[in-house]
Each structure stands twice: as C-alpha cells, then as structure tokens.
C-alpha cells in the first residue's frame, strides 16, 4: 500500500470537539439526528416503503444470526446441501461453481477461509451466518425481483461502473460524501433502502457480470472531495456508512482488489489513522489514499489503463477545478446501461414502474 502521511493540523476545534467526532466513529449512535429525520431514515419512510424497523432488512449482526433457530446453527459441523448459482436459470446463491466449496470437506468457499486466515471453525461460522442472512433477507431472490427505487438510490448516493482495469477487474466509482439527505426524505426512502440497493449492485457484479469467475475481485475508486469534518458529527450518516461497510465485510469477504480513495483532504489521513486499527491488514494493504494532483492522476492512469481512464469522471482528475459535477452527469458506460436494463426488465416482469426521482 502506498501511504503518504501528511502533517495534519486541525484548526479551531478543541479537544472536546475532536472527542465528539471520534465518539461518533466508535459509538455510531443516532443521538444527534433530529427526531423527524431519525424516524424517517432508520424506521421506514411510510407503509409504502419496502423496508421498516421491524424488518431490519440488511443487518449483519453475526451474534443475532447465530442465536436464531435454524439449520445453520453454531453446532453444525458442515454446511447443508447447497444450491449453486446458475445465471442462465436465474438461480443465485452464496455458492458458485469453482469457488472452492465443492472440494472443501465442510463446503467452505475459499474466500471465507482466506478471510479467516485458514481458521476453519471461524470460516465455517462466517459461511453459516451469511447463508442464513441471505435467506432471512431474500438476497438470493433480489436480482429477479422489481427494484423500483433504483434511480432514486443512484441519485442520492452517486456511484457507477466504468469498465475494467488493466488486470481485468471491474472498476466501481463512488461518491459517498455526496449522500443527499434532502432527497432521502423527499423521495420517501430509508437508509435500509439504500443499503439494500448497495447489496443489489454487489449481487449483480458477482452473480451476473462475474458469474464465470467466482474468485473475482473489484477495484473501487472512492471520491471524498466533498467530505467535511462536520459530516462526522452526523451520526445518522456515519451509522449508515458503518453498517454498509460491516455488511460487505461479513457477507462479501475478500472481494476487494484495490481501493483508491481520491481527492482526499490532508486531514483525511488523521481520520484514517483512527479507523485503520479496526480494519484487517489484508484490507488496509489494498487501500491507497491519494490527494488531487499529478501523482493521483499517474496512479489512476497506471491501474485503469487508457480506455477505462477515459471513462473516469472528470472530478477524479486534478485538472478539474471542482467536484460539483455528480457522477450521474457523465456519459453512461456500457456496464451501467446493462445494469439498468436488467432492473427495468425485472420491474416490467413484476408489473411495477420505476419511481421518479424527486428533487
């Protein structure tokens, strides 16, 4: 990992304020959110919302999963009979042909063993948790169900696929700092809707785009130009991002090839020092933190190659004066077009229309 430590001076903030930010990172409680917004984003927008507090759509609390009554209990010594994904038959599962589970005596996919550093019991429990999580939250079926909030979720938290890097990994660009709280409320969606959408996108990559490559990994480019220190005081925002990260960590392990955090303000390195001890070394080894400039441009060109570099949005390059332009304003790459076509097909099959995006 290329990690350049910059001298960081945080001005005009006393120790108490710094402790507040750190506390939000550690405790992640929605105590600072106004009651109306808190009720909306965490407990469901309305009876029409596909998720609610009672459904707890995408929780990844492993302890809760292990305590539930199911065939995937802690006492199980092997996985039950499994169904393997088959894109042609629109059958989707945790298990994919060639993922190593067929040869493993306990049916453990290799990436779960790698996550657990070959500790078999720990890896088996992680697999059992993920199988049960997928069952409880309908993950296996989500790609054949309508997704009427797709356009809204794309607008509220801009993100897109732009192609493949020089080694053939899918490249995924995100702007989490541009999370639009006003549109969350105006479009009557919840953070659980956004989290479910993020899972949908992951499922699409691994089950459809990379269906023939069960060991595939992804290159992520995360633009943080709009990240502000004040965001760390917004516990609802931090809680959402934390839940998304822990969900992917628990249920989509070892899927990262490289993560480039681009346009990072100098103080971001201080934030990363706080978070880094919470991450696996295998994760931190894949992270490069880059500040806008020639070095960032050179690194991106080297890893993306000429064709995909041309598809990278302008705000990722140092020549761009600002990051005001959203991802959604760029030319839509083929991979993005195919994803939306898939969503529209499922919406039509389910007799539902895409919801319009409200300002």
- Separation CA 185–CA 188 (nearest Å): 5
Q: Which long-range contacts (CB under 8 A, 24 or more apart) does 289-298 make?
A: 289/3, 289/4, 289/261, 289/264, 290/260, 290/261, 290/262, 290/263, 290/264, 291/6, 291/263, 291/264, 291/265, 291/266, 292/225, 292/262, 292/263, 292/318, 293/318, 294/318, 296/262, 296/263
pTM metric for this prediction: 0.78
Average pLDDT over residues 34-46: 39
Least confident of 28-32, 84-88, 163-167, 319-323: 28-32
| Beta pairing partners, 171 | 163, 219
Bridge pairing between strands 218-223 and 256-262:
parallel
Q: Tell whether the model's pLDDT for residue 356 goes beyond 90.
A: yes
Three-class SS of the chain: CCCCCCCCCCCCCCHHHHHHHHHHHHHCCCCCCCHHHHHHHHHCCCCCCCCCCCCCCCCCCHHHHHHCCCCCCCCCCCCCCCCCCEHHHCECCCCCCCCCCCCCCCCCCHHHHHHCCCCHHHHHHHHHHHHHHHHHCCHHHHHHCCCCCHHHHHHHCCEEEEEECCCCCEEEEECHHHCCHHHHHHCCCCHHHHHHHHHHHHHHHHHHHCCCCCCCCEEEEEECCCCCHHHHHCHHHHHHHHHHHHHHHHHCCCCEEEEEEECCCCCHHHHHHHHHHHCCHHHHCCEEECCCCHHHHHHHHHHHHHHHHHHCCHHHCCCCCCCCCCHHHCCCCHHHHHHHHHHHHHHHHCCCCCCCCCC
Query: How confident is the model at residue 320, as a pLDDT?
Result: 56
**All domains of the chain in start order, with CATH:** 18-52+146-349 (3.40.525.10), 62-136 (no CATH)
> Mind listing the pLDDT tens digit for each residue in 165-188?
999 999 999 999 999 989 999 999
Q: Tell whether the model's pLDDT for residue 23 goes beyond 60.
A: no
Q: Tell whether the model's pLDDT for residue 111 goes beyond 80.
A: yes
> Mind listing the pLDDT tens digit for each residue in 48-98?
333 333 334 444 433 333 333 333 333 334 445 789 999 999 999 999 999
Query: How confident is the model at residue 281, as a pLDDT?
Result: 82
Radius of gyration of the CA atoms of the chain, in A:
20
Q: Please, are residues 158 and 151 in contact by the beta-carbon 8 Å criterion? A: no
Query: How confident is the model at residue 342, as a pLDDT?
Result: 98
237 versus 243: the higher-pLDDT residue is: 243
Q: Residue 181, exposed/middle/buried by CB under 10 A (0-12, 13-18, 19+)?
A: middle
> Percentage of the chain with pLDDT > 70?
75
- Separation CA 275–CA 298 (nearest Å): 27
- Separation CA 8–CA 6 (nearest Å): 6
> Mind listing the pLDDT tens digit for each residue in 206-242?
999 999 999 999 999 999 998 888 887 888 888 888 8
């Amino acid at each position: 990992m290329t990690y350049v430590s910059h001298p960081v001076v945080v001005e005009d903030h006393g120790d108490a304020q710094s402790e507040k930010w750190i506390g939000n990172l550690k405790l992640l409680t929605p105590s600072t959110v106004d009651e109306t917004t808190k009720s909306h984003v965490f407990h469901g927008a309305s009876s029409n919302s596909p998720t609610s507090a009672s459904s707890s759509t995408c929780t990844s609390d492993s302890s809760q999963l292990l305590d539930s009554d199911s065939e995937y209990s802690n006492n199980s010594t092997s996985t039950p009979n499994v169904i393997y994904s088959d894109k042609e038959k629109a059958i989707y599962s945790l298990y994919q042909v060639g993922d190593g589970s067929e040869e493993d005596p306990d049916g453990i996919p290799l990436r779960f063993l790698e996550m657990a550093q070959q500790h078999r019991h720990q890896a088996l429990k992680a697999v059992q948790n993920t199988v049960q999580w997928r069952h409880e939250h309908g993950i296996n079926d989500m790609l054949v169900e309508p997704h009427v909030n797709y356009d809204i979720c794309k607008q509220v938290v801009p993100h897109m696929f732009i192609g493949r890097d020089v080694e053939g990994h899918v490249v995924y660009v995100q702007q989490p700092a541009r999370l639009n709280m006003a549109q969350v409320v105006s479009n009557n969606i919840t953070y659980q809707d956004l989290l479910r959408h993020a899972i949908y996108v992951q499922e699409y990559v691994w089950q459809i785009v990379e269906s023939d490559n069960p060991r595939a990994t992804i290159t992520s480019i995360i633009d943080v130009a709009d990240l502000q220190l004040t965001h760390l005081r917004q516990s609802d925002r931090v809680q959402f991002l934390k839940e998304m990260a822990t969900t992917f960590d628990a249920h989509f392990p070892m899927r990262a090839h490289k993560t480039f955090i681009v346009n990072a303000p100098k103080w971001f390195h201080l934030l990363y020092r706080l978070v880094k001890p919470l991450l696996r070394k295998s994760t931190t080894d894949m992270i490069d933190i880059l500040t806008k400039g020639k070095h960032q441009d050179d690194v991106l060109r080297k890893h993306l190659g000429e064709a995909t570099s041309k598809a990278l949005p302008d705000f990722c390059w140092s020549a761009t004066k600002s990051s005001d332009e959203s991802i959604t304003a760029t030319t839509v790459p083929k991979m993005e077009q195919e994803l939306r076509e898939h969503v529209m097909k499922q919406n039509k099959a389910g007799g539902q229309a895409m919801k319009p995006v409200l300002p």
